[in-house]
Amino acid sequence: MNIIFSYLIQISIILTPILSLPILSRVLDTDEFNLYLLLQSLCVWISYVIDYGFIITATKLIKENKKSVSNIIYSKLLLSLLSLIIYVILSFIINVDSILIFLSSIYMVLMGMNFYWYFIAVEKLKNKSIIEFISSSFFILILLFFLNYSTIDINELFCLLIVSRAINIFASIYCIYKDGCNFEFNLLVVIDTLRYSFDAFILKSGATLYTVANGYIISLVLGVNSSALYLQSERIIKSAFSSLVPPLTNAIYPKVIRGDVKVRIIEFFVLFLSLLLSIFLYIFRDYILSFFYHSYSYDLLLAYEIFIFIIPIISMTNVMMFTRVYKYDLEKKVSKIILIAGLINIIVLPVMTYSFNEVGAIISCIFIEFVILISIYVITKNKVESDR
């Protein structure tokens, strides 16, 4: 049942941006819509500072000591202060209006202060799926109300996003409180919690340097409009991937730790699903792009078609992280590879983008993802063989 609820959670999380895209692409002017895509991507990127990899380490920490819940929460609150500073600086660099910076920064913090990690650790995904559904439904219904009876601009849009995420956060905190968490604060223990999860943070944040950071980097090289073209294609492809693979891997992770599932079967199943998804996205590409963006350019179609190749790669990377890397405690080794790959991407991406526009950026992203997948396979294969 946890797998089913994990899918419901992921669908609810994706529901808000996906269902809003077709509406916003039609009611916002081009510049506001492009800026919205860029800022939302930036919010996701910086929110990884708050997440800090607890989605990985929380399961182990909480199973060892239930009091770890409060330590993780206070750790995330401290990290929120750092993330705010980073977000404001990056927003000023691309000349975002101060009011919009204020609103989007609040949204970014609320994104980072999610409690998905807790419900995975205690295997109560049913509660989280209900919370996600309510908050997502609220946002969509209010957005539709505004569109029918009034107009909406980008500032009002972020206000709605803030309210939606706030409902989610407070409902999650209430569930945690009902489970008996006492929210005791101990600075030394919080620091130890941060230290314990540091490798997971490097693992997750390193990955952002060649994924969600790309939109911001492209905006610095070619401008907001070119960045938006990249993000429009990426949004559909990554959302399709996120709705299919992560719910499965998140739900089976506790079972992987206990050794209750056969790793090879899970990996082949995920590969099969990712190939089916890729074929589906290619066959119905015209219908999909028309639905989300009403009208689209040849450049967007080309970017979308190339991006499809990334789905099997990132799907296998995702499942192998859970079935191999986390299982054999190889986070430290893999995190170094991912961090190096991310730093290389920051150097290579601007050159590829300047030389070949958005297509160059997509090819660079796919290549980096493929190198990481091969690296993970080699490292984990050597680990398994050495343990025999």
Residue whose tokens read 């066959």: 283
d(CA 110, CA 348): 32
This prediction's pTM: 0.82
238-265 pLDDT, tens per residue?
888 887 787 777 677 666 666 666 778 8
How many Cβ atoms from other residues are within 10 Å of residue 283's Cβ? 10
Pick the more confident residue, 294 or 156: 156
Torsion of CA 246, 207, 338, 256, to 10 degrees: -20
Report residue 2's pLDDT band, with 50, 70 and 90 as the boundaries: low
Tens of pLDDT along 334-388? 888 888 999 999 999 999 999 998 899 999 999 999 999 999 999 988 876 676 6
Q: Where are the beta strands (DSSP E) in 58-157?
A: none
- Does the pLDDT value for residue 135 go beyond 70? yes
pLDDT at 3 over 60: no
> Which is higher by pLDDT, 63 or 341?
341
Measured CA to CA, the distance from residue 226 to residue 231 in angstroms comes to 9
CB 45 within 8 A of CB 74: no
pLDDT at 193: 85
Is residue 4 over pLDDT 90? no
The encoded tokens of residue 194 equal 């941060």
- Which of 143-152, 209-218, 260-269, 374-383 is least confident? 143-152
Q: DSSP code of 293?
A: H
- The answer, yes or no, to whether residue 9 has pLDDT greater than 70, is no
Amino acid at 253: Y
Task: Tell me the average pLDDT of the chain.
Answer: 85
Residue pair 14/158 in contact (Cβ under 8 Å)? The answer is: no
- Determine the longest span between alpha carbons in the chain, in angstroms: 67
Q: What is the model's pLDDT at position 230?
A: 93
Both tokens of residue 312?
């099997």
The reported pLDDT for the residue numbered 279 is 96
What's the rounded mean pLDDT across residues 91-100? 92
pLDDT in tens, 186-197: 888 888 888 888
104 pLDDT above the threshold of 90: yes
Tell me the Cα Rg of the chain.
Answer: 20
Greatest mean pLDDT range, 4-18, 64-78, 167-181, 209-223: 209-223
pLDDT the model gives residue 176? 84
